[in-house]
């Protein structure tokens, strides 16, 4: 490498405002180029950006990678790339330490266990739809539907007391919101950490039959006792990972489907279509919009190229999800497409632990929302919708909708 950083192009982050559902246009060019692209990133380092589907999978399956600066520190100007990994920070851990912790959690997220939560989730979705329908529009679908549902699912999973759920939900909404002012954010952060610490301490004394309680028992029984710090970090990781992502998917996919009436009609006519629709919308929207950052810990090969230890790599998940060699006509939403092999949940040992839960939540939302409110429509012009162009998880800030007779 003789090039200097200043000669390199910048990592693309800006979308074409006319196509807010499409990744930055440069990704198509990157896919067409040979090999990876060395680009400068806002955090101040050069990274090799991997954009083709097969290359992204090869990269993320390689053991010679560290996730210590994951998920997307490359786009954080002033971000710290060598921050020590906090104990319990599943997203950032590597190797056997990561595998051990993940394995303590996997029984909570099996297909079987998540299927058992489906009736609870159905009830939650129906309750929120009842509450919406008891009002007259417009309502903000993000604040009144997309945010509370995943938050309450996490409460159920973690075993938060019913009496505390309203407060918990308020504060986590501030925490994952992008409209929050810094003081409110700091306050919410303190409160959520305090809340999680209290929850962990309570369950350590008297473990209950919920994720945290069972995790504490399982870790103890296998001689891998987890510290308060690890449990709090894990709890908050699950909270953020399970809340923000699903909430943004609900808001953004509803908007995308409202803009694609033929597909929405098909879903209304056949709610069973929600099964494939969820993975197709995950593929199409790629909400972890800047991809995931890794650092090579040894030499590895991507295509014909050798990446050396120490180099930074970005798996551009949204670029791989639009790779036409795997997904024909990739820029089109096709709710019947078999898109399960998309990259939105990542790939390799860090692939989303909560993916089955996300699927079930989104399936129930997709199937029920449009059945119960078939006349759902935007209450503002499309041009007025604000997108989270800077957030690590893409979405809409608010989604004013209404229903009933057009007037």
Partner 1 sequence: MKVRIDVDACVGAGQCVLAAPDVFDQRDDDGMVVLLVENPPAHLEAATEHAALLCPALAIVVDR
Residue closer to partner 1 by CB (options 195, 345) is 345
- The contact mask relative to partner 1 for 59-78 (x = CB under 8 A, - = no) is -xx-----------------
Residue closer to partner 1 by CB (options 319, 353) is 353
Q: How far is the CB of 111 from partner 1 (least distance, A)?
A: 4
What long-range pairs does 382-387 form, CB within 8 A, spacing at least 24?
382/259, 385/20, 385/255, 387/15, 387/20
Reference 139, options 244, 246, 254; nearest CA is: 254
* 356 belongs to the binding site for partner 1 (CB under 8 A): yes
Helices and strands in the chain, H and E counts: 15, 10
* 110 belongs to the binding site for partner 1 (CB under 8 A): yes
Question: Cβ-count burial of 343 within 10 angstroms (0-12 exposed, 13-18 middle, 19+ buried)?
Answer: buried
Residues 209-268 that bind partner 1 (CB under 8 A): none
Kindly tell me which residue out of 152, 352, 362, 378 binds partner 1, with binding defined by CB under 8 A: 352
- Rounded CA-CA distance 253/201 in Å is 38
* 5 belongs to the binding site for partner 1 (CB under 8 A): no
Residue closer to partner 1 by CB (options 31, 214) is 214
- Rounded CA-CA distance 117/57 in Å is 30
- Do 251 and 141 form a contact (C-beta atoms < 8 A)? yes
Q: How far is the CB of 103 from partner 1 (least distance, A)?
A: 6
| Span from 103-111, 142-150, 254-262, 395-403 in contact with partner 1 (CB under 8 A) | 103-111
Q: How far is the CB of 240 from partner 1 (least distance, A)?
A: 19
The secondary structure element, H or E, covering residue 198 is helix 182-205
Provide DSSP, 227-250. -HHHHHHHHHHHHHHHHHHHHHHH
* 301 belongs to the binding site for partner 1 (CB under 8 A): no
- Rounded CA-CA distance 230/241 in Å is 16
* 190 belongs to the binding site for partner 1 (CB under 8 A): no
Kindly tell me which residue out of 45, 129, 340, 400 binds partner 1, with binding defined by CB under 8 A: 340
Residue closer to partner 1 by CB (options 212, 256) is 212
Q: How far is the CB of 351 from partner 1 (least distance, A)?
A: 4
- Rounded CA-CA distance 276/334 in Å is 9
Phi, psi of 274 (to 5 degrees): -55, -30
Provide DSSP, 50-75. E-SHHHHHHHHH-SSEE-TTTTTGGG
CA angle 48, 52, 54 (to 5 degrees): 110
Q: How far is the CB of 113 from partner 1 (least distance, A)?
A: 8
* 300 belongs to the binding site for partner 1 (CB under 8 A): no
CB atoms within 10 A of CB 38: 17
The secondary structure element, H or E, covering residue 313 is strand 312-315
* 44 belongs to the binding site for partner 1 (CB under 8 A): no
Residue closer to partner 1 by CB (options 172, 356) is 356
Query: What's the alpha-carbon Rg for the chain, to the nearest Å?
Result: 21
Kindly tell me which residue out of 240, 268, 355, 387 binds partner 1, with binding defined by CB under 8 A: 355
* 358 belongs to the binding site for partner 1 (CB under 8 A): no
Kindly tell me which residue out of 129, 204, 258, 349 binds partner 1, with binding defined by CB under 8 A: 349
| Span from 67-75, 252-260, 285-293, 338-346 in contact with partner 1 (CB under 8 A) | 338-346
* 347 belongs to the binding site for partner 1 (CB under 8 A): yes
* 106 belongs to the binding site for partner 1 (CB under 8 A): yes
- Count of residues interacting with partner 1 (CB under 8 A): 25
Alpha helix positions (H), 77-161? 95-105, 111-116, 118-133, 141, 148-158
* 96 belongs to the binding site for partner 1 (CB under 8 A): no
Residue closer to partner 1 by CB (options 264, 360) is 360
- Rounded CA-CA distance 74/189 in Å is 23
* 102 belongs to the binding site for partner 1 (CB under 8 A): yes
By CB under 8 A, name the binding residues for partner 1. Answer: 60-61, 99, 102-103, 106-112, 114, 340-341, 345-349, 351-353, 355-356
């Amino acid at each position: 490498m003789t090039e200097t950083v200043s000669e390199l192009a910048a990592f693309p982050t800006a979308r074409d405002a006319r196509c807010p559902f499409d990744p930055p246009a440069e990704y198509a060019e990157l896919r067409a180029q040979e090999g990876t692209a060395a680009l400068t990133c806002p955090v101040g380092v050069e990274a090799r950006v991997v954009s083709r589907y097969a290359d992204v999978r090869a990269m993320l399956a390689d053991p010679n990678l560290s996730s210590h600066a994951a998920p997307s520190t490359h786009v954080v100007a002033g971000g710290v790339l060598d921050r020590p990994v906090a104990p319990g920070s599943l997203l950032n851990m590597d190797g056997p330490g990561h595998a051990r912790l993940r394995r303590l959690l996997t029984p909570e997220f099996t297909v079987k266990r998540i299927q058992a939560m489906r009736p609870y989730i159905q009830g939650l979705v129906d309750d929120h739809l009842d509450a919406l329908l008891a009002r007259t529009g417009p309502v903000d679908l993000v604040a009144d539907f997309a945010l509370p549902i995943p938050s309450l699912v996490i409460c159920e999973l973690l075993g938060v007391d019913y009496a505390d759920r309203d407060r918990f939900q308020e504060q986590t909404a501030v925490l994952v919101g992008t409209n929050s002012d810094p003081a409110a954010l700091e306050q919410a952060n303190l409160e959520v950490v305090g809340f999680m610490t209290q929850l962990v301490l309570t369950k350590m004394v008297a473990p209950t039959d919920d994720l945290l309680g069972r995790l504490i028992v399982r870790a103890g029984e296998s001689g891998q006792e987890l510290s308060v710090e690890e449990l709090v970090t894990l709890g908050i990781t699950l909270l953020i990972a399970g809340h923000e992502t699903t909430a943004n998917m609900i808001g953004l996919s509803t908007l995308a489907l409202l803009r694609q009436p033929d597909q929405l009609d098909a879903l209304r006519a056949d709610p069973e279509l929600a099964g494939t629709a969820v993975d197709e919308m995950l593929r199409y929207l790629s909400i972890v919009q800047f991809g995931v950052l890794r650092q090579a810990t040894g030499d590895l090969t991507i295509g014909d190229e050798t990446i050396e230890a120490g180099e930074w790599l970005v798996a551009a998940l949204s670029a791989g999800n639009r790779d036409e060699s795997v997904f024909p006509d990739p820029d089109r939403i096709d709710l019947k497409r078999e898109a399960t092999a998309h990259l939105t949940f990542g790939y390799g040992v860090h692939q989303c632990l909560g993916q089955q839960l996300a699927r079930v939540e989104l399936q129930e939302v997709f199937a029920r929302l449009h059945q119960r409110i078939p006349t759902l429509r935007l209450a503002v012009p499309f041009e007025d919708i604000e997108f989270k162009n800077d957030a690590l998880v893409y979405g809409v800030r608010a989604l004013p909708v209404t229903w009933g007779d057009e007037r």
